[in-house]
Amino acid sequence: MKPETTTHTNHSEIPIIDIGPFLNGAPRAAEETADRLRWVQEEIGFYYLINHGISANLIQKALEQVKLFHNLPIEKKLDLKVDDKTTGYVPIRS
């Protein structure tokens, strides 16, 4: 089966989405944040989230765990391969 064609965009910067107003209950913030997220996900596919309230320390610990996981041998990662509930590891080019 031939893979889908990808579309390249001219975006040269990673979008930044500020969810602080939404978390603080600002009027219309839920709708505005959702609209922005929808657009960015459909048009670009990735973004930076700011003012989310997650500490830099916790983010650093999560990144360390990601690195540890990706440094595992493929056999260990395949023990966690996606199941019929679509949760788990997806090997590259699978």
**3-state SS track over 10-74:** CCCCCCEEECHHHHCCCCCHHHHHHHHHHHHHHHCCCCEEECCCCCHHHHHHHHHHHHHHHCCCH
Residue 89, classed as helix, strand or coil, is strand
pLDDT interval class at 16 (50, 70, 90): very high
Specify the pLDDT at position 11. Answer: 62
What pLDDT is stored for residue 5 in this prediction? Answer: 47
Q: What pTM does this model have? A: 0.59
Whole-number pLDDT of residue 3: 44
Please tell me whether residue 53 adopts helix, strand or coil conformation: coil
**Distance of alpha carbon 25 from alpha carbon 37, whole angstroms:** 17
